[in-house]
Structure 1
Amino acid sequence: MERVVITGMGIVSPLGNTVEQFWNGLVNGMSGISRIDAFDTSKHKSKIGGVVRDFDAEALFGRKDARRMDRFSQFAVAAAEQALADAALSMADTDRERVGVYVGSGIGGIQTLLDQAAVLQDRGPDRVSPTLVPMMIANMAAAMISIRFGTQGPSMAPVTACSIGNTAIGEAWRLIRSGSADVVIAGGSEAAITDISLASFGNATSVSTRNEQPSQASRPFDAGRDGFVMAEGAGILILESFTHAQRRGARIHAEVIGYGASSDAYHMVATHPEGIGAYQAMKTALREAGLEPHQIDVISAHATSTDIGDRSETAAIKKLFGELASRIPVTANKSMTGHMLGAAGGAEAIALVKSMQEGIIPPTINQEESDPTCDLDYVPNKARKANMEIGMSNSFGFGGHNAVIILKKYTAEID
């Protein structure tokens, strides 16, 4: 089996549109949550979100190409471009048939659909854009990355709701390990902060309504949490076989050493209250990595700031790690970014890589009132220095999809 390493990273996020900006925001405990201003929220229960700012698609891609992509595809291509530059990977010097793209989106081009539905209603069918369907379908982020950079290997858009990023990374890991590809561009993208999706989540009472305190709204594990905060962005990584990376002299950020996936088989939207699926995915990832529980140094939690979700994840961690659970730091990036939905796993994988590289665990902010059912070490409110070799990242999604990856700090090997 081939070893799989991470050689490039790129991000578009509510904390900034470069890895450096994103990481600085995390370690400084900054919140990327603000009032939504892209549309009128006066009638909405929740009026806040993790909005991507200072993103100019026309400046990046030109007016014509930008207009042919929904915002979620724009985010994905921009993050992929960053990641490829970070990896110093030239397609001219690479066998393109062995470069894949595994990038998904949970909701796809919903704003494009809304815009064209309005055109249909107001101006009739003759005025609906012929590019509506190709712009809105969830595989288009992967397709546009492949088209823009000329990759000709396997292309896939996993749709596992909010576990997409980890699913993409994990399945890419499997593809490269098997020898079927040398490189895979992997991650997720989302641009779902729209009038209709905000209304739906609001009516489901699943989003925070702490509208007057946006920066304090996302508070995973805190007793005062009242729901998640919608966010948008993209997190993309370049995965390579160790052999391929070494042959071209690539800088290696980290190694992917384990992946586990499972299904709750329980409910459309609710996590299993005992965290059974989460436990199974974490256990499988450990087994695939050939590790024992005591070898995990940090856990990047899914931790969306919902009551049952945070409780069930805590229960799953306790079930797997036993008495060790209270000693392992657990960090929740969504306390600062909000929930980037299908983009969350990719973004949080980048955060975990940086955490191990820099020896700093980002905090879980807004920890003010302890919840007796959530009683682990959540690195409250302030970043912490720590020596970490191996980290686990959890992602769980609607429908009971669970995906867990395990990353290892890379230390240059001496022949």
Structure 2
Amino acid sequence: MMERVVITGTGLVSPLGNDVSTFWNAMLQGKSGISRIDSWDTSHMKTHMAGVVRDFDADGRFGRREARRMDRFCQFALAAAEDAIQDAGLKLEQIDKERMGVYVGSGIGGIGTLLEQEELLRSRGASRVSPLLVPMMISNMAAAMISIRTGAQGPTLSPVTACSIGNTAIGEAFRLIRAGGADVVLAGGAEAAITEISMASFGNATTLSTWDGDPKLASRPFDAGRDGFVMAEGAGILVLESLSHALKRGARIYAEVTGYGATSDAYHIVASHPEGRGAYQAMKLALHEAELEPAQVDVISAHATSTQVGDRSEMMAIKRLFGEADHRIPVTANKSMIGHMFGAAGGVEAIALVQMIQDGKIPPTINQEVPDPECDLDVVPNEARVKDIHVGISNSFGFGGHNAVIVLQKFA
């Protein structure tokens, strides 16, 4: 018999706050976490803003010596994981560590550390390069550090599926627990790639927004005036457990994971399929596994990065799958407020969906001024909405054509 899989803890680091309560309250108020970059001179760049994590004190949290041994993405991941464990009330000394796993990925890994050490090599010579460069840089180190800190000895995986990493991690952890391979898995993603070279590359690829006004208005998924995504950073980690394990320890249950769909567009290295072929199939598979019909979905948390092609293709996929029900189902786009957190996006947006199910409220898609006639569904424009939510799906898509969709339900 397959295990049921539930969510019992959440933790995050984000441009809208470094704890779930602060983040969620800001989202419901339609606040934006996008700001001008102030850590370097951006006058030579095509864009000058990002979703920067503020007020994150790694030295205070981990101690200066330990913090300096981790790249920023790893610091974010470990902080979010520790908060998720605390939120879940997990007493690690009472957990069978051989049945505790960590599925946490990063799309770009420690690029900040790599750039810093390359500069040291050029300016001060090979002897000054840190012996910890490689372990600080490689993207599996977030999962590894969480495993080391918690003592988790079960399956540890660092999926790399670009911007769909968070959902890939959650979905694969769901499958692992459901099959009886683990009792508890920490799942999600982390990213800290706001660097000059990253922004220069994305800028030259014409994927970034070049909005030159108030940064808070730059990310506008589904709006006719959208002109690209806004880079962001952070981490989102969830505690997934088998229902039997959660009930045995008397855990509070936030929601249940009931479906997961993963596909590939098999189309292009960066562009999504223009008709949303892979997105459609991933949503269809996730609902099939959850044994649900499209009309039973109460909310869709869209991938919606604020690019012309990407938003349009996702809308086409939704319309194809949901048919006559498409105008009834709210489609909310969190990236309008937090920007695109790449490998961290899926984890953070899954936490937002958990909060929607818990609170019966849907955060808005902000910066909706001129409707795009090709994105004409209910995008919850500019103001949060009260709605009883029993079933929600969260979409995440990534460069290379990766698509990952999860279904979360109210626990009953």
TM-score normalised to structure 2 length: 0.99
SS across alignment from 1:326: coil
Match of 1:147 in 2: 148
SS across alignment from 2:259: strand
Match of 1:273 in 2: 274
Is residue 2:386 matched to residue 1:396? no
Deviations 1:212-256 (A, max 9, x none): 220000000000000000000000000000000000000001000
Poorly superposed stretches of 4+, deviation over 2 Å: none
Match of 2:44 in 1: 43
Shift of 1:26: 0.5
Deviations 1:335-379 (A, max 9, x none): 000001100000000000101110100000000001111100000
Q: What is the CA–CA distance in structure 2 between the aligned matches of 1:44 and 1:143, rounded to whole Å?
A: 35
Match of 1:67 in 2: 68
The residue type paired with residue 357 of structure 1 is Q
Is residue 2:235 matched to residue 1:234? yes
Q: What is the CA–CA distance in structure 1 between the aligned matches of 2:313 and 2:327, rounded to whole Å?
A: 15
Shift of 1:211: 2.9
Q: What is the CA–CA distance in structure 2 between the aligned matches of 1:120 and 1:371, rounded to whole Å?
A: 49
Deviations 1:238-292 (A, max 9, x none): 0000000000000001000000000000000000000000001000001110111
Answer yes or no: is the 8 Å Cα contact 1:33–1:48 preserved in 2.
yes
The residue type paired with residue 364 of structure 1 is T
TM-score normalised to structure 1 length: 0.99
Q: What is the CA–CA distance in structure 2 between the aligned matches of 1:170 and 1:310, rounded to whole Å?
A: 23
Is residue 2:195 matched to residue 1:194? yes
Q: What is the CA–CA distance in structure 2 between the aligned matches of 1:195 and 1:109, rounded to whole Å?
A: 14
Match of 1:370 in 2: 371
Q: How many residues align?
A: 411
Answer yes or no: is the 8 Å Cα contact 1:48–1:211 preserved in 2.
no
Match of 1:53 in 2: 54
Answer yes or no: is the 8 Å Cα contact 1:35–1:211 preserved in 2.
no
The residue type paired with residue 178 of structure 1 is A
Counting only pairs closer than 5 Å after superposition, residues 131-170 of structure 1 correspond to structure 2 as 131-170=132-171
Match of 1:114 in 2: 115
Is residue 2:259 matched to residue 1:261? no
Q: What is the CA–CA distance in structure 1 between the aligned matches of 2:114 and 2:150, rounded to whole Å?
A: 26
Counting only pairs closer than 5 Å after superposition, residues 216-255 of structure 1 correspond to structure 2 as 216-255=217-256
SS across alignment from 2:7: strand
SS across alignment from 2:395: strand
Q: What is the CA–CA distance in structure 1 between the aligned matches of 2:275 and 2:66, rounded to whole Å?
A: 47
The residue type paired with residue 283 of structure 2 is M
Match of 2:16 in 1: 15
Q: What is the CA–CA distance in structure 2 between the aligned matches of 1:265 and 1:110, rounded to whole Å?
A: 27
Match of 1:342 in 2: 343
Q: What is the CA–CA distance in structure 2 between the aligned matches of 1:289 and 1:190, rounded to whole Å?
A: 29
Deviations 1:78-129 (A, max 9, x none): 0000000000101100000000000000000000000000011111111110
Match of 1:326 in 2: 327
Q: Unaligned 5+ residue runs, structure 1?
A: none
The residue type paired with residue 222 of structure 1 is D
Shift of 1:149: 1.0
The residue type paired with residue 13 of structure 2 is V
Deviations 1:183-235 (A, max 9, x none): 00000000000010011011111001113220000000000000000000000
SS across alignment from 2:257: strand
Q: What is the CA–CA distance in structure 2 between the aligned matches of 1:64 and 1:94, rounded to whole Å?
A: 29
SS across alignment from 1:6: strand
Give the RMSD, CA atoms, in angstroms: 0.5
SS across alignment from 1:256: strand
SS across alignment from 2:393: strand
Q: What is the CA–CA distance in structure 2 between the aligned matches of 1:42 and 1:162, rounded to whole Å?
A: 28
The residue type paired with residue 218 of structure 2 is A
The residue type paired with residue 204 of structure 1 is A
The residue type paired with residue 232 of structure 1 is E
